[in-house]
Chain A
Amino acid sequence: MNDPRNGETPMQRERAQTIYEKSKTGRRAATLPAAEVPERPLEELIPAELLRAEPPRLPEVAEPEIVRHYNRLSRRNFDLDTGFYPLGSCTMKHNPRLNERVAALPGHARLHPAQDPRRAQGALELMWLLQESLSEICGLPHVSLQPSAGSHGELAGLLLTRAFHADRGEERTKVLAPDTSHGTNPASVTMAGYEVVKVATNERGGVEMDDLRAKISEDPDQVACLMLTNPNTLGLFDENIAEIAALIHEAGGTLYYDGANLNAVMGHSRPGDMGFDIVHVNLHKSFSQPHGGGGPGAGPIAVSERIEPFLPRPQVVRRESDNGDGPVFDLDLDRPKSIGRLRGFQGNFGVFVRSYAYILSLGADGLAEASETAVLNANYLKARLAEGRAGERLPIAFNRHCMHEFVLSGKPMKKELGLATLDLAKRLLDYGFHPPTVYFPLLVEEALMIEPTETETKESLDAFAEAIEQILTEAEEDPEIAKSAPYTTPVRRLDEVKATRRPVVRQPLG
């Protein structure tokens, strides 16, 4: 690349302007239906003191300008359909467009959630089929689709744990989680009213067994649960999982599986067979629901027999009809031991449609192959990045075969070139790549967590490895280039501290 520090790009010259700043009094897009009924003054219908004096200052813009505004904004986003997105633990795999088409069918999209179950049999059957599929994939007999995302599933799992223990007349206070766990794990623990106990990581990247034993034996009666991701956030499968499960179960706790990394093991190994009691599945990761720039997702949970009585209500159930007309699907609200609802209605049904379409498309073989390819791609990219400058400056944190992702440390790069992981990430933007997850997991210094997924070709993995090599080469000559990167993005490095110290979180309107 030529010296990038020259001039503004056309998009940089186009300064950000909000839709409110494009507003002109009297402009509009919508034409509404005529009232058709008497246009009585509102004061006749609603007491004046309950009416609003001034309408909210929404923008006044005609349709062509609205379309243009949001299309322009869209061009200021990088997205998965444009380029490689190796964001660790996020599973940025291709989102098949068929799924959008079937989700938009009126029978799905315009189905009211309070429709009589007898007139929503297709929707309930779809939910039941998805439950059955996830049950098989997780190796656990029961599934609730209700949680809205992974962290919601975690909260559900902890509330289930509390109910399970309460049912046995126990109240436990501690939840164990490795120091490599996702941030949502400890946050969910606090929200569910438990205390987090951190468990150390051993030299092979798994749970440090002595520390686990010590933490349990401090007060085994207080151990409610161990939350684990397997493979963990280092991309490594914990070989001691059977022993871990035995220790937790012996203490009377439940074992919770954070399914963020399920994409590594579909059709190869099942959390239920590993001894887990509760699993959440991120449909927006392993099951191809588009991430939408931060949702929507869905976080169904699969559970063992002993947890089932406590599942949220309603549950989708299948019953044989009395008249021999085949099965009937229903919403079961009569669940006396249930923890109750976690949200309104039945969950993110539109996401269920997409994920069920994905499972149907891939089938048993396809899902297993997806995981194989995800693991192959990760190990190939890991091998490529063990060569050349990357191998020297960005060593692998735990040097063994990985599963679907791996973690590099930028510590030598920082020491030898003065380049922080953040600088490398920002320079990657100029090369047209989304950077990996950075500074996570916390126990790896200057961490880069890389998950290529199965839907990338060898060519894109090679191109990414070559970009890293080039950035490191460039930094040997002039580290200042990366330190001030990016240069070609719609805006350059942003002042995040200012946005937190003196937050401006809405447009002031005159």
Chain B
Amino acid sequence: MLAAIGVDSVDDLFGQVPKPLRLGKPLALPEGKGEAEVFERLSALAARNADAEEQVCFLGAGMYDHYVPAIVDAITQRSEFLTPYTPYQPEISQGGLQVMFEFQTAMSELTGLPISNAGLYEGPSSIASAGYLAMAATKRSQFVVSRGLHPHSRETLETYAVGYGAEVIEVGLKDGATDAEALAAAVDGETAAVFLQSPNFLGAIERVEALGTAAKEHGALLVVACDPMTLGVLKPPGEQGADIALGEGQPLGNRLDFGGPSFGFFCATQEQIRRMPGRIAGETDDADGRRGFVLALQTREQHIRREKATHNICTAQALNALAAMVHLAWLGREGYLELGELLVRRTAYARERLAEVRGVELLHDAPVAREFAVKLEAPVDKVLEFCAKEGFAAGYALARDYPEFENGLLVAITERRTKAEIDRLAELLGDAVFHAGATGYAPLADAEQAR
């Protein structure tokens, strides 16, 4: 090969790198290892994590321990889906492009909006992408954001807003849901978009339609983040006036993976089709009139439009969107509805069960679907530690993101959380609050009496 090139050594090829810039020594990294050794090393690291097989997982806060059916793994691990690049050559990418088209159809059905893209990175950055779209659509630069939005979404929006030059105004919560009066007062002719999340971070189902009227009156876009596992039972954003519906896609077919990779979904009204971020597959014909699929509307994208693109995204989350599509096909129309109902009923049971526990009360009474918030009469960290020692990840401590909810706990339900586990959680929380209180952290005189 060197002879064909006409050099004596590979080193000669690196001659274009100026000498002072050559490393000239090995990287300070360990020597390479064989496959078995690497497997053992990674297994040892994995063993030091308390995963959802080791602990009963009531953690949610945007990502949920759903059962991922075996066919999702079987299909996503097929090398024909696992190893191609983005489908720039449609004639040899019909499989991936058709999956995108099917996925777009499914997300459009779920959200009740006509246009879906083929996916973005994940939930919170999709919120920031909606902000960018809203600025382009309205030529305005103010966002009104409910405090019920996932804290990561609010922070990500703030991060991006500094770049593209928008102002973020936050509206507080009242009884667990967005304060309607405060929202109406915050929206005006400068507002580019109103951002809601339903169910919101505290699990409360928002009255999106009513809240959205302020946006409609002032010509702002209504952006609604939603949980794709609840849309079988909850009225979809598209039927409640949303211009954009988006969210974290992980509950559909994607494992927890300590937070990623998952995908973000992004749906909108017809009006926004040419402002959409990300890839969109479209149907067309081949030279002989056969049905086929291509990347549509590429003139929005960075590889064509460069600085005038509607977004900078290139590599996104195609394989994760495939996982979602296979999961949705596996559930099917009936199964998807049943799963939604199951979540609502088990969540209602868990919420009532926990509310009966001494030292635990509901943080709000708003209707919920799959997650709810309680208030503990003991330091939440101590309670969580107590439960962890009993093999339970009891939930998400709210105070980190909501200092106003000291000792608040967010509890998530999936179809994997059985009645027995819910009952055990209730017992454990009772015990934990009692013990944490008894060590002097909370006034729990009557709890002791009850014992």
Contact = CB atoms under 8 A, between A and B. Distances in A.
A123 B45 CA distance: 7
B167 interface: no
Contact of A340 (B7, B155, B295): B155
A401 B15 contact: yes
A85 B85 contact: yes
B301 to A, nearest CB: 8
8 contacts: A26-B334, A55-B232, A60-B333, A107-B51, A183-B306, A191-B160, A496-B284, A499-B294
Given A75-B95, A102-B43, A376-B13, A82 B28 contact: no
B396 interface: yes
B53 interface: yes
B50 interface: yes
B331 interface: yes
B193 to A, nearest CB: 16
How many of chain A's residues touch chain B, expressed as a range?
35 or more
A67 interface: yes
A77 B80 contact: yes
B48 A242 contact: no
Given A36-B346, A291-B84, A507-B101, A80 B79 contact: yes
A349 B258 CA distance: 6
Contact of B309 (A150, A187, A400): A187
A140 to B, nearest CB: 13
A46 B320 CA distance: 31
A306 to B, nearest CB: 19
Given A51-B233, A193-B164, A499-B284, A294 B346 contact: no
Interface string B331-360: 111111111011011101100000000000
B115 A74 contact: no
A343 B124 contact: yes
A1 interface: no
B383 interface: no
A239 B18 contact: yes
B445 interface: no
Given A16-B292, A151-B302, 7 more contacts: A46-B205, A55-B336, A113-B260, A116-B388, A193-B163, A346-B260, A500-B296
Nearest to A373: B10
Interface string B283-326: 11111101111111111011111111101111111111010011
Interface in A100-147: 100-116, 119-123, 125-126, 133, 136-137, 139
A498 interface: yes
A92 interface: yes
A184 B349 contact: no
B59 A350 contact: no
A192 B161 CA distance: 9
How many of chain B's residues touch chain A, expressed as a range?
35 or more
A362 interface: yes
Contact of A76 (B20, B53, B95, B331): B95
B102 A368 contact: no
B169 interface: no
A27 B348 CA distance: 29
Interface in B250-293: 255-261, 263, 273, 279-288, 290-293
B21 interface: yes
Contact of A237 (B17, B35, B282): B17
B330 A491 contact: no
A115 B260 contact: no
A506 interface: yes
B75 A74 contact: yes
Interface in A406-428: 425-426
B334 A28 contact: yes
Contact of A494 (B55, B122, B292): B292
Given A112-B256, A434-B92, A15 B290 contact: yes
Interface in A48-85: 49-53, 55-61, 63, 66-67, 69-71, 73-82, 85
Given A78-B93, A108-B258, A495-B284, A183 B309 contact: yes
Contacts of A139: 23
Contacts of B288: 8, 12, 492
B108 A506 contact: yes
B122 A498 contact: no
Listed residue (A242, A296, A440) with the most chain B CB atoms within 10 angstroms of its CB: A296
State the 7 A-B residue pairs at the shortest beta-carbon distance, nearest first: A107-B46, A345-B259, A363-B32, A292-B319, A113-B259, A122-B48, A296-B261
A58 B318 contact: no
Nearest to B299: A500
Contacts of A375: 10, 13-14
A368 B122 contact: no
A360 B32 CA distance: 6
Interface stretch (A214-222, A246-254, A262-270): A262-270
Given A60-B334, A79-B83, A341 B315 contact: no
Given A82-B80, A188-B312, A268-B23, A193 B367 contact: no
B332 A349 contact: no
B50 A115 contact: yes
Contacts of B79: 79-82
Given A77-B81, A148-B125, A380 B27 contact: no
B329 interface: yes
B450 interface: no
A42 B286 CA distance: 48
A18 B102 contact: yes
Given A28-B332, A71-B78, A112 B393 contact: yes
B45 A30 contact: no
B379 interface: no
Given A32-B338, A183-B302, A190-B307, A494 B47 contact: no
Contacts of B396: 114
Given A152-B125, A340-B155, A239 B16 contact: yes
